[in-house]
């Protein structure tokens, strides 16, 4: 008799699951026993351009079913509030409830801050940050309602997708870095708000070779000997499966970096130094005397110094 799988009896939504990371995550959740709603808007351009198509989501859902799992495809734009509601309702109506939400959908519109247009800013913030909010809003309402009916906690897991662009900076991606930083704030706020209902919320910073990062990792060649690429999305999906499982009940409000067989747990910001005014308030001269020498003796950009410790620095 085979042992039950970690996610047996649970249902999940994975957004942006028609390709790349989302696809790997949907396949992993299904492999672990979850029934999966595979969401993807199916636009061919990584900047969100082109006609929407159900084909990417349907292909992944068919792949899951062919392997013996349960999956339903959903063509929808998560940055649209109504379509996000329909996505959550589809999971509930198809599988009786929603247990796991993996927010992965995103686009890129890269440009330096002095060249970026308002539309390039708004589009990326809308898909990444508002998209995460929209699905989380409706999933949270579902779990809160179920918890009230049950008179106690229910099962709920949220896995959000941040980025090293937030952690270490990315000069040509001010919109993307800002959105990914906002997702961390959304995650910690959600974790605090939903803990009493039995729901956890965590975020990951994945590094993987996908359609969105093909130029970033162009200089990192895939192995020719048939071994798994260090940048393969399959290095990321096991962590998502773990965070979605009952085993991760004690993990909440956390940010984890994952790539190439490595997971790093990121601490929340800590105070590095503290200065007190000699009198009621600081003078300019006093601040200059205290703060200027402090930075004069330190690396010019400690963000990148910290990134090097984690092995996150981009060449």
Q: Which residues are catalytic?
A: 163, 176, 180
Any residues with CB less than 8 A from the CB of 99 and at least 6 apart, and which?
Answer: 10, 11, 12, 34, 155, 156, 157
Task: Give the pair of three-digit tokens for residue 12.
Answer: 């999940």
Task: Give the pair of three-digit tokens for residue 68.
Answer: 């013996």
Cβ proximity of 185 and 160 under 8 Å: no
Q: Are strands 71-74 and 35-39 parallel, antiparallel or unpaired?
A: parallel
Any residues with CB less than 8 A from the CB of 185 and at least 6 apart, and which?
Answer: none
Main-chain dihedrals φ then ψ at residue 127, nearest 5 degrees:
-70, -50
- Spatial separation of the C-alpha atoms in residues 52 and 40, rounded to whole Å: 9
Look-up of token digits 């959304």: 186
Cβ proximity of 173 and 186 under 8 Å: no
> How far, in Å, are 6, 13, 29, 205 from residue 100 at the CA level?
13, 6, 9, 18
- Spatial separation of the C-alpha atoms in residues 19 and 214, rounded to whole Å: 13
């Amino acid at each position: 008799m085979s042992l039950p799988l970690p996610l047996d009896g649970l249902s999940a939504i994975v957004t942006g699951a028609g390709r790349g990371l989302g696809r790997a995550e949907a396949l992993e959740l299904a492999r672990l026993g979850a029934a999966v709603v595979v969401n993807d808007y199916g636009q061919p351009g990584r900047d969100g351009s082109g006609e929407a198509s159900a084909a990417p989501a349907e292909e992944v859902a068919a792949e899951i079913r062919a392997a013996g799992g349960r999956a339903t495809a959903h063509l929808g734009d998560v940055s649209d509030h109504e379509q996000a509601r329909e996505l959550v309702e589809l999971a509930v109506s198809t599988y009786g409830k929603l247990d796991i939400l993996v927010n992965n959908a995103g686009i890129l519109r890269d440009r330096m801050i002095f060249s970026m247009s308002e539309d390039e800013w708004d589009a990326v913030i809308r898909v990444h940050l508002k998209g995460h909010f929209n699905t989380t809003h409706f999933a949270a309402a579902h779990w809160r309602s179920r918890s009230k009916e049950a008179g106690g906690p229910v099962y709920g897991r949220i896995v959000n997708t941040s980025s090293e662009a937030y952690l270490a900076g990315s000069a040509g991606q001010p919109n993307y870095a800002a959105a990914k930083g906002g997702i961390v704030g959304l995650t910690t706020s959600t974790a605090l708000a939903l803990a009493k209902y039995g729901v956890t919320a965590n975020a990951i910073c994945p590094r993987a070779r996908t359609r969105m990062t093909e130029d970033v990792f162009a200089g990192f060649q895939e192995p020719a000997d048939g071994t798994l690429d260090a940048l393969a999305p399959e290095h990321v999906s096991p962590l998502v499966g773990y965070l979605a499982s009952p085993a991760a009940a004690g993990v909440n409000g956390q940010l984890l970096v994952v790539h190439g067989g490595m997971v790093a747990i990121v601490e929340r910001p800590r105070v590095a130094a503290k200065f007190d005014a000699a009198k009621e308030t600081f003078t300019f001269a006093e601040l200059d005397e205290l703060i200027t020498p402090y930075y004069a003796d330190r690396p010019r950009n400690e963000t990148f110094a910290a990134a090097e410790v984690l092995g996150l620095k981009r060449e």
